[in-house]
Amino acid sequence: MIKSSYKGIAGNLLFALNIFILVLLVAGDSLVIPRWLQPVGRLHPLILHFPIVLLLLAMLMEYFRFRSAFVAEKFYQEFTTALLLAGALFSAITAIMGLFLSREPGYDGSDIQWHKWFGVSIVFISSGIYWLRSNTWYNSLMARSGSIIMVLFLLLAGHYGANITHGDNFIFAPVMQNAKPLVPIDQALLYRDVVQPIFENKCIGCHNPDKLKGGLELIDEKSILKGGKSGKLFVPGQPVISLLLQRIHLPEEEKKHMPPSGKTQLTAAEMQVLYLWVKENADFKNKVVSLPAGDSLRMVAATFLKPAEAPEENYDFAAADEKVIKKLNNNYCGIYPLAKGSPALAVDIYNKAAYTPKVLEGLSEIKKQVVSLDLHKMPVKDAELKTIAQFENLRTLNLNFTDITGSTLKDLTSLKHLHSLSLSGTKINPKSLDQLHSFKSLKELAIWNTGLSQAEMLALQNANKSITFITGFKDDGKPMKLIPPQVKNTVFVFSKPVQLVITNPIKGVDIRYTTDGTDPDSVKSLLYQPGILISDNTTIKTKAYKAGWYGSDAVSFSFYKNTFKPDSAALLTSVNEKYRGDGAKTLIDGELGGMNFGNGKWLGSQADIEFLLFFKNAIKPRTLTFNSLKMIGSQIFLPSEIQVWGGKDAQHLKLISTLIPGPQKKDDPAIVAGLICKLHETTPLNCMKVVAKPIKKLPAWHPAKGKPSWVFVDEVFVN
């Protein structure tokens, strides 16, 4: 009786769920799903596998139900009935959840429609089989036909469901398509053959016409440039403030991290491709080989492509340990295979501030595998060529715009495989090039902008017929764009005035600058001259100009005065575990965090940040500068309010300044801002307390509307 009662209740519930599904289908878009039911809809992907397993097992048993061995087997018959009833019930619940979920934005297109109709058909077919199978006229043919139809519908519903979550034709692709052949590097386009496959494999499953997550499509150039609900996907030439790069570099557990947790993640090489592609203006038509041979993007892109048809070089050394390569990859050194499956490695060292001779020495574990080494614009000295000479299999060496003079160039003659050497932009001594005959394998030498006269370069060419000399730009009548000026200062936080040092590798340029945040022009803006002193908080914005050339891009550099450095600091509130830097020391160590909030030099929180600053000797400050970060797309805003308290100790403090930065807008650029709090106190202080408050509820135009903003701080300066 109890079993019969449960069976009756379950049967009635199944009937009611079928009716409810019909109501949802008939109502269509006119039926609004309340917000409190949306979480129920989002459980659809979580439980859909359960009814699939139940129904597959039930259909297998139903198919053989009328066999003589099973027809009189009571347990077999009752167990099949129970499986079918449970499968039908859970499939009905799953279908209702799916119908709820389909009402949310981003679920449109033909795959959604096919998945929906096959899904509800499974409910109706399984319910029909359950209700009909107890009739006397229900026979073996009907049982087998129903089982086959059910399994077919399960496969098709799963196929379209997989298309929605994993991309087009996910299930049948392995048997319907051959593996995509690698494109030869000399025929490859950067976007079509390198960037687009990354989007196809890792992103299009959620950003296609059928599943428009965030209103973003990644299927073609037009849709990519259009962006989504959160704005443009990237800003060409500016990866740091591009939404694409911000999202893929968020911690995987963050809600906005892309691809979402649980999906196949981007590899380090794929992230590097996207970063460099955006940095080089995200061109959709460029060929890979149009980039210079030593260009980082070209080298990384080459690992995704088939090498150009040429005699393949065989290397007589084993591949390096993957764990070692992973360990050595960091924020100032990129290491990549020269080609897929090749043991040869290319190394690109690119963070000037982090470079020391120990960086090269640290690569000793892979010195046999490195065949390409890019050190351009690094402060490499002549003494370091001895270390470079230990990379015995080096083929290509880029020393452009380094500090070498060539006095130890003979150290490189031991590199028996070296065929390409770049010395452009260096102050190379002409006499040091007399030993070129000792480089047995050298085929190419770049020496433009080295100060060598035309006569000296001609003499070198005549004396070394086997070497191709790259001596400079051949004027085709079209203006070129100048590269931006470079600030050579190594210290940006100071207590005493510092001299501003700006250079440009192109000779004869005018370097113009401003200090009010505006872009420098070529006529009215201040002309840089050596000897300028920086004595207060200053942001220098500078551009290079030269007749016959296009002006360079503008670059900014900030200098911070710190007259009264605290002797110690203490945090009064906890910051987020991921953005805790070096604790309170982060606030007073003089190390600026830059635009990378995940580099361990920032403190970040979605709650108030409170800290104390202690001074052994009493001070009489006039201002406190709170150095903060703003990245609207990453939910990082300037504080809504900053309070500064002061007194003789932590128990005797009074409010001496309040700063409200003001409204922040959707299109505000990403910046590091020094927020200056003017202090209203005349008596000496030994202790200061700073309170920085986030925005409690983000505005309606922000994707995270209603949630608190993040506040980030890397330094405070007291003057």
Residue 135 or 472, more confident: 135
In whole angstroms, what is the distance from residue 377 CA to residue 368 CA? 24
CB 172 within 8 Å of CB 159: yes
Q: Report the distance separating Cα 484 and Cα 181, nearest Å.
A: 40
Sheet-wide strand order for 711-718: 603-605, 711-718, 623-630, 671-678
Dihedral over Cα of 445, 448, 450, 453: its sign: positive
Q: Letter for the amino acid at 400?
A: N
- Dig out the tokens for 308 from the structure: 């150009």
- Closest by Cα among 393, 349, 356 to 375: 349
165 token code pair = 């979550």
For 313, which DSSP code? P
| Pairing state between β 538-545 and 555-561 | antiparallel
Q: From residue 259, give the alpha-carbon distance in Å to each of 108, 127, 204.
A: 20, 38, 10
Question: 3-class DSSP state for residue 563?
Answer: coil
> What gap in Å lies between CA 7 and CA 4, rounded to an integer?
5
- What's the pTM value of the predicted model, to 2 decimals? 0.42
CA distance 132 to 129: 5
Half-sphere exposure of 672 (CA within 13 A, CB side): 22
Contacts of 682 (CB under 8 A, 6+ apart): 620
Produce one character per residue of 526-545: b if its CB has 16 or more CB atoms within 10 Å, e if not: eebeeeeebeebebbbbbbb
pLDDT at 477 over 60: no
The pLDDT value recorded for residue 163 is 66
**CB-based contacts of 395: which residues, under 8 Å, 6+ apart?**
371, 372, 417, 418, 419, 420
CB 484 within 8 A of CB 554: yes
- Classify 372 as helix, strand or coil: strand
User: For 628-641, how does the pLDDT look when each residue is reduced to its tens digit (9 = 90+)?
Assistant: 999 888 889 999 99
Lowest mean pLDDT among 440-454, 568-582, 651-665: 440-454
Residue 233 structure tokens? 């996907």
Q: For the segment 498-530, what is each residue's pLDDT rounded down to a tens digit?
A: 888 888 877 788 999 998 888 899 888 999 988
Q: How many CB atoms lie within 10 A of CB 77?
A: 15
Phi, psi of 466 (to 5 degrees): -80, -5
Give CA angle at 268 (264, 272), nearest 5°. 120
Q: Hey, what amino acid is at 310?
A: A
Q: b/e map of 320-333 (b: 16 or more CB within 10 Å)?
A: beeeebeebbeebb
Helices 49-63 and 110-132, interaxial angle, to 10°? 40
Q: What is the rounded average pLDDT of the residues 588-616?
A: 89
Longest dimension (CA), the chain: 109
47: pLDDT strictly greater than 80: no
3-state SS assignment for residue 706: coil
Residue 165 has a pLDDT of 62
What backbone phi and psi angles, to 5 degrees, belong to 225? -70, -30
Percent over 90 (pLDDT), the chain: 24
Q: Collect all residues with Cβ–Cβ distance below 8 Å to 136 and sequence separation of at least 6.
A: none
pLDDT of residue 537: 86
Measuring CA to CA, how many Å separate 71 from each of 64, 81, 131, 135, 591?
9, 13, 18, 14, 80
The whole-angstrom separation of Cα 603 and Cα 572 is 13
Choice between 174 and 19, residue whose per-residue pLDDT is larger: 19
Neighbours of 278 (CB within 10 A): 21
Instruction: Give one DSSP letter per residue of 227-262, joined into a string.
Output: -BTTB-S--TT-GGG-HHHHHHTS-TTSTT-SSPTT
Question: Residue 690: its pLDDT value, please?
Answer: 96
pLDDT of residue 2: 37
**Token pair of 161, please?**
């469901």
Looking at residue 584, its pLDDT comes to: 93
The yes-or-no verdict on residue 306 having pLDDT over 70 is no
User: Which residue reads 């198919």 in tokens?
Assistant: 63
DSSP string, 475-508: P-S---BPPPPEE--S--EESS-EE--EE-SSTT
Assess whether pLDDT exceeds 90 at residue 480. Answer: no
496 vs 597: CA distance, rounded Å: 28
What stretches of 64-109 show up as alpha helix (H) in DSSP? 68-71, 74-101
Q: Does residue 197 or residue 108 have the better pLDDT?
A: 197
Q: How far apart are the first and last CA of the chain?
A: 86
For residue 45, what pLDDT is reported?
64
Residue 423 structure tokens: 């010395």
Of the listed ranges 165-169, 416-420, 583-587, the one predicted with least confidence: 165-169
Q: Is the pLDDT of residue 241 over 90?
A: no
Kind of pairing between the strands at 623-630 and 671-678: antiparallel
What pLDDT is recorded for position 315? 84
Beta bridge partners of 691: 610, 643
Nearest of 139, 140, 158, 161 to residue 150 by alpha carbon: 158
User: So what's the pLDDT on residue 76?
Assistant: 85
The residue to which tokens 């009662």 are assigned: 5
pLDDT at 310: 46
Mean pLDDT on 117-136: 85
Would you tell me how many other CB atoms lie within 10 Å of the CB of residue 647? 17
Is the separation of the CB atoms in 670 and 696 below 8 Å? no
- Residue 30 in tokens: 């006119």
The pLDDT of residue 670: 82
Q: How confident is the model at residue 449 (pLDDT cuts 50, 70, 90)?
A: confident
Reported confidence tier of residue 222, pLDDT bands at 50, 70, 90: confident
pLDDT tens column, 521-556: 988 899 998 888 888 888 899 999 988 788 888 888
What is the mean pLDDT of the segment spanning 235-258? 76
Calpha distance 439→433 (Å, rounded): 11
Q: Residue 338: pLDDT above 50?
A: yes
Q: How many CB atoms lie within 10 A of CB 335?
A: 22
> Alpha helices of 364-500 — where are they, by DSSP H?
385-388, 454-463
Q: For residue 475, what pLDDT band results from cuts at 50, 70 and 90?
A: very low
The pairing of beta strand 652-659 with beta strand 641-649: antiparallel
Burial per residue of 669-701, b for 16 or more beta-carbon CB atoms within 10 angstroms, e otherwise: ebbbebbbbebebeeebbbbbbbbbbbeebeee
Determine the pLDDT at residue 281.
84
